[in-house]
Structure 1
């Protein structure tokens, strides 16, 4: 692909494409050139530059780190190309890559286990908070003992002291809010 095709495909300015290409060349990536010395891009080089753009825009890595990562990816794809290696070397390179992928997978699994443990801990803490809140809510909604009315006449002073008065409490049929607000 020509630089203008890559620029339009990636929706970047040609100057930005030249900058990224120059950084990749500093990392050892050799682009094919036209008779006028313009760079020509392969699909893998275009994908690498697209990866640089995405990484830089995500803010996860600096431009230099993104270029180094992309160039190492391009170098790996070139080093395993069948036209440059015989079948034994390809098999060895593939095995090494499989081993690296297994290592990465194990690391991801370990990180996932750690996240799972942290997730369970957070869930347990949340459940404890919910339990505490429910207990507090039960305390708040517990029946309030009825207070004697202030305007009620005191009947105990009118009765003789020899007879003890037996008072059976009336069941309060008012709603919860009426009992709370004493209405």
Structure 2
């Protein structure tokens, strides 16, 4: 940023002439950055525009008003392509706000992902419990059938006194596994 005295010295014009050109540019919509004492500060683009105004007026090809209009259009065009320095704080603030919003969104996504993970684990645990129950039922179905006890007792045992329990000897099943399962 250049001060008014630097610009007027470099361009070899009076400070009053610089103020006049600057005021004309402001009328065309160009806004200069100012110091805390309200003095204008000039960017390189603004310095070049004022230098162009002086050259155009001295050449006699255009009037001061036409040169100012042309310079202001050029400045506005440059400002739309590249942001001015005074806008950098606004841009930085906007970027920071956007980053904050993105962080919040990321945090929300992470929380949703954790909830999904918890739900997924719960579903997997329920499925595992069902599988375990099914396997237990399958083992029960495939378990060997207990040997049948011989129900036909000899007649002499019926004549025994009732105080003595009958001894039943189990009969061994010699059928194969599938025959026992299907009871054939």
How high is the TM-score relative to the length of structure 2? 0.45
**Distance change >3 Å, CA 95–CA 77, structure 1 → 2:** farther
User: Unaligned regions of 5+ residues in structure 2, if any?
Assistant: none
Give 1:81 deviation, angstroms.
1.3
**Distance change >3 Å, CA 118–CA 141, structure 1 → 2:** same
Runs of 4+ in 1 over 4 A off after TM superposition: 82-183
**Distance change >3 Å, CA 95–CA 36, structure 1 → 2:** closer
Alpha-carbon distance in 1 for matches of 2:81, 2:21: 24
Count of matched residue pairs: 183
Give 1:41 deviation, angstroms.
0.3
Alpha-carbon distance in 1 for matches of 2:67, 2:83: 27
Q: Is the 8 A contact 1:80 1:93 kept in 2?
A: no
Q: CA RMSD in A?
A: 21.0
User: Unaligned regions of 5+ residues in structure 1, if any?
Assistant: none
Alpha-carbon distance in 2 for matches of 1:60, 1:123: 84
- The structure whose Rg is larger is 2
Give 1:90 deviation, angstroms.
15
How high is the TM-score relative to the length of structure 1? 0.45
Structure 1 stretch displaced more, 14-23 or 130-139: 130-139
Give 1:102 deviation, angstroms.
45
User: Tell me, what secondary structure is at the counterpart of 2:156?
Assistant: coil
**Distance change >3 Å, CA 48–CA 155, structure 1 → 2:** farther
Q: Is the 8 A contact 2:4 2:15 kept in 1?
A: yes
